[in-house]
A and B are shown apart, each in its own frame.
Chain A
Amino acid sequence: MDAIRTIVRTARRRIMMRDAVLRIASASVWAGAALLAVLLGCRLASAWLPVLGSPVIPWVGIGVAVASVAAWTAVRVSRPSDLAVSSVVDVKLGLHDRLSTAIAVADRSDPFARAAVEDGLRVAQDGRVRQGIRTACPIAVPRTAFFGAALMGSAVVAWLALPPIPVGGGTVQSEGASEELAAARAAAAARLEPVVRQIESNDALAKALGMTEQQDGERTDGGRDGDSAEAVRKEAARRMTELTQKLDQLMQSEQAQQLDALKDALSRVEPSQGSPVQSLAEALKRGDAAAARQQLEALAKQASDPSLDAATREALAKSLEQLASQIEKSAQGQDALRKALERSGMDSALASNPAALEQALAKADQLNEAQKESIRQAARAQRSANDSLEKLAKSMGQCAGQCRNPSSGKSGGASGSKDGQSPGEEGSQPSSSASSLAQGNQMLSEMEQLAQMMQDAQSARSQCAGGGNATQLASSGSPQRSGQAGQGRGPQGGPSNGGSTPTQETPFGTKSRKERVANQGGDVIARQLVEAPPVVGESRAKLQQIAQEISRGVEEGTGEDPVPPHLREAHRRYFGEMRRRIEQKTGPSSP
């Protein structure tokens, strides 16, 4: 049986090799296709699949090796038996199953079985049979192998030839990415830092905007470590938008309206020419609270001066009383509230009656809640402004009284602290006049702080609007220059107007994108009856019906009637023009 076993081993080896080649060829086709798909995917979305950014040749080698090992393992697992191999050889070489029969009956002892075994041995010892094994079990490379190799070659070529293509918002991770990221951080910092500094220069403004220390610690370059340049730009834009919205809210808040009401009321003060209080009146008329406070302190000091003669003292007292009277009169006005009511379509007379105003607001169906709240806010601001004006008027009246009777009490305002809250150094006991003067000083001080805050807010808002210029400056290599217009101090120590910074269109914006959704209809979940005004005038239904019939008739007529082809377009144009004119008169919709 050794001769038969030898032939079977040889044939089995060749059969397994052939099977392995076939499997490797099939695997190479699939592997090549998969590799091509993956590499093309990496090229198209390299930001999402950065792990395969290494050279492709090792991956191809690894794929071929794995496919070869897997194919050989599969062939080893499905190793054909001696009988199967010998049967193949018998059929291929036309041996009439001598070899396979000898193997199948090798363990039998009957004469026919032994004769069959000897017959098989004789065949196996034939040299022609041994040579015929090659033709019986050929090892040929199938066409699929060439196809698989072509796919892998295509993958390599695609990897080497195609440039990275970002798709769907993906960005290419290249050597220039870090430079782009740094530039984006610098641009973001250049835009954000001046605004933040402007806000932080005013404690009240920072507090009003909720700029806590933790938020102050946030990076002003608009991003976190590991973010892409696009993310940095988006984060900077988000923070800038947030600051802008906060500043807008502050500039439309109750405080701002109170300041506007104060300035509006004080603007009606008429300073008398040659009057001792002319400077104070002019400062009040300008809305310059700081100057007004200084003038008021100077007048209080002058009034408490015992060396002042009686005539001058009387003139000063009279002027102060007149100014106080004007201020008190202004405090009675409700102009800001009236304007707000008029804008909302309500009766402006309600401004003088808070209770009636509240009732009117409760019944005002034409206003939504936001509008009502805005009017209430205007009313509160008006009341606060009037209270402040009354305090100021009372303070001036007390000052006038002190001027007439300097011995009635010592004014602490002249030598008090800047905010007027500390008692005077000379007076042993603070009198009521000193208290009133302090209240006036406090009112002006608060007005000064409020005005300063609003001015800073306005400056910061202007810098926000002028971000494009700041970005441009930052990109030119001098980020420290950005926002310089907002950092300068004005002649009175306050910041200058940042709004003078030239503006430029921002490089970013919103893109309108419509989501692709399938309109599948559905149940009606709400209905609303609209009470439209009744249609008056001449009915247009007839005319529109005629227009529709004309349009339909033209289409049918040109399609069915014997209208010459070269005249059909003329027919359509003529009657189409007629319908267009009718619709211009009547409107496209039915009445």
Chain B
Amino acid sequence: MGVKAMASGPAESAYGGARAMHAAPAALQERIESVEGVREACAAFRSVADLLRAAIGRTVIGQQEAVEQVLMALFANGHILLEGVPGLGKTLLVKALGSALGLGFSRIQCTPDLMPADVLGTHIVVDDEAGGGRSMRFRPGPIFTQVLLVDEINRATPKSQSALLEAMQERRVTVGGETRDLPSPFLVLATQNPIEQEGTYPLPEAQLDRFLLKVTVPYVSREELVAILERTTGGPVAEFAPVLGAAGIAAAQRLARMVLVAPHVQDYAIRLVLATHPDGPACPPDLAPLISIGASPRAAQALLSCAKVRALCAGRAAVGTSDIAALAHPALRHRVMRSFEAEAGGIPVDAIVDRVLAHVPREWQP
């Protein structure tokens, strides 16, 4: 099916785009060699994104910004750290995403006694019925899936956290001297509770940096709460078919990497990141005392890769500074460490990011 068929109507085009992404990634790759193909690919991507939003929206009420950022991380091939108080639908969001994508889904509920083997898997002794003996067989852990929900990751011990986060970064695990690749795509969505700090093990800065985005799940509004009550306390929850397979996700991820970023737009991302370095010349003087550690180069990578997805979601073939600015909070909030002064003053990280955005003009300055 050609990508032009997606232009007939919103719903139809969305499904057409999803099928295009799912069924013919190679053909899509050939079509984007022309301007028309680029436009069609952008439209198809936008359709897929709309379709995914609609599919998730059937289960998750509200939280549009969180859903949007989760989709961006998905297409940017990154992992997400969800933070919010209990009961706001974090786990439900991840489940809905796994269902909508038709990918394998696993869940790890982190506790202090969680061991790395509980995450990665272990070798067990099994009876060899054919040979009559016994042999060691690897039993994969829950990490061998495509969409992994790590619930309350800060309750796991640092040992287990590091095993998990190493797999996130390398996308492979080594158990018993054997290295095993994780399935593709591999998306980790970890959640943590910001209020219950007793008995937790806060993630180190180096491990926080491995999450592409940190999404804050806010409280729902009154209307959203009404809808949640009607949907969850009434009739059965509607089931929906997966809209995008692994191949489609991979194609979308490839397309996202091809989105154009003009030099002056990229310079804006660089200026944003440099402005968070307290010892650097680009950091505003009133901001430097509030920051102990600035954003790493991964922050700039996250900004650009997610901004590309955002531009594609908007049907544009090039990234704008508005895309980068919109992603500054989820990309920087877990990479900018507050100083004691900021913590003592009760200045949240998002306020610091706001100041950075206000200090760095979006207009290009030679």
Given contacts A84-B366, A87-B364, contact A111 B323 (CB under 8 A): no
Inter-chain contact A90/B32, CB cutoff 8 Å: no
B262 near A100 (CB under 8 angstroms)?
yes
Supposing A97-B265, A111-B32 touch, asked if A91 and B318 sit within 8 A by C-beta, the answer is no
Chain B residues contacting A116 (CB-CB under 8 Å) are 260, 262, 317-318
Minimum CB distance partner of A94 in chain B = B322
Q: Which residue of B lies closest to A86 (CB)?
A: B364
Which residues of A have CB within 8 Å of B323? Answer: 96
Interface assignment of B177: CB less than 8 Å from any CB of chain A: no
Does A114 count as interface, using CB distance less than 8 angstroms?
A: yes
Q: In the complex, what distance in Å separates the CA atom of A100 from the CA atom of B263?
A: 10
Smallest Cβ distance from A114 to chain B, in angstroms?
Answer: 5
Pair B364/A112 contact, Cβ less than 8 Å: no
Instruction: Decide if B321 touches A91 in the complex (CB within 8 Å).
Output: yes
Encoded as 1 (CB less than 8 Å from any B CB) or 0, chain A from 89 to 101 comes to: 0110011111011
Q: What mask results when residues 304 to 327 of chain B are scored 1 for a CB within 8 Å of chain A, else 0?
A: 000000010010111111110000
Within the complex, the shortest CB–CB distance from B94 to chain A, in Å, comes to: 30
User: Which residue of chain A has its CB nearest to the CB of B362?
Assistant: A91
Q: Which of A83, A88, A97, A115 contacts B320 (CB 8 A)?
A: A97
Number of chain B residues whose Cβ lies closer than 8 Å to a Cβ of chain A:
31
Given the contacts A81-B366, A91-B362, A91-B363, A97 and B37 also touching, CB distance less than 8 Å: no
Whole-angstrom CA separation of A84 from B42 in the bound complex: 27
CA gap between A90 and B319 in the complex, in Å: 12
Q: How far is the CA of A88 from the CA of B264 in the complex (A)?
A: 12
Does B34 reach chain A (CB closer than 8 Å)?
yes
Tell me the nearest residue of chain B to A97, going by C-beta: B320
Q: Does B258 contact A (CB under 8 A)?
A: yes
Q: Collect the chain A residues with CB atoms within 8 Å of residue B366's CB.
A: 81, 83-84
Contacts A100-B262, A101-B265, A104-B264 given: A115-B364 contact, CB under 8 Å?
Answer: no
Q: Within the complex, which residue of A84, A96, A97, A111 is in contact with B33, where a contact is CB–CB below 8 Å? A: A111
B130 at the interface (CB under 8 A from A): no
Assess whether B262 is in contact with A112, with CB atoms less than 8 Å apart: no
Query: Cα distance A247–B363 when bound, in Å?
Result: 90
Chain B residues with Cβ below 8 Å from A87 are 264, 362-364
Is A346 in the interface zone, CB < 8 Å from B?
A: no
Is B172 among interface residues, defined by CB-CB distance under 8 A? Answer: no
In whole angstroms, what is the CA distance A480 to B260 when docked?
105
Partner pick for B34 among A84, A90, A111, CB 8 A cutoff: A111
Asked whether B38 lies within 8 Å of A112 as measured between CB atoms, the reply is yes
Asked if A105 CB lies within 8 Å of chain B CBs, one says yes
Question: Is B363 a contact partner of A84 (Cβ separation < 8 A)?
Answer: yes
A91-B321, A96-B320, A97-B320 known; A111 vs B264 contact (CB < 8 Å): no
B329-366 vs A, Cβ < 8 Å mask (1 yes, 0 no): 00000000000000000000000000000000111111
Pick the contact of B314 from A88, A96, A97, A112 — CB < 8 Å?
A96
A402 and B318 alpha carbons, distance in the complex (Å)? 147
Contact between chains at A101 and B363 (CB < 8 Å): no
Which of B32, B320, B362 is in CB contact (< 8 Å) with A98?
B320
B39 sits at the interface (CB 8 A): yes
CB contacts under 8 Å to B, within A269-308, are none
Select which of A91, A95, A112, A118 is within 8 A of B260 by beta carbon. Answer: A112
A112 in contact with B259 (CB, 8 Å): yes
Let me know if B206 is at the binding interface, CB within 8 A. Answer: no
Q: Nearest chain A CB to B29's CB is how many angstroms away? A: 12
Beyond the given pairs A84-B363, A100-B364, A118-B35, 5 more chain A to chain B contacts, judged by CB atoms under 8 angstroms and listed by A's residue number, are A84-B365, A96-B323, A98-B320, A100-B262, A112-B38
Residues of B within 8 A of A (CB): 32-35, 37-39, 42, 258-260, 262-265, 311, 314, 316-323, 361-366
5 contacts between A and B (CB under 8 A): A84-B363, A84-B365, A90-B321, A96-B322, A105-B262
The 4 closest A-B pairs by CB, nearest first: A96-B320, A97-B320, A87-B364, A112-B260
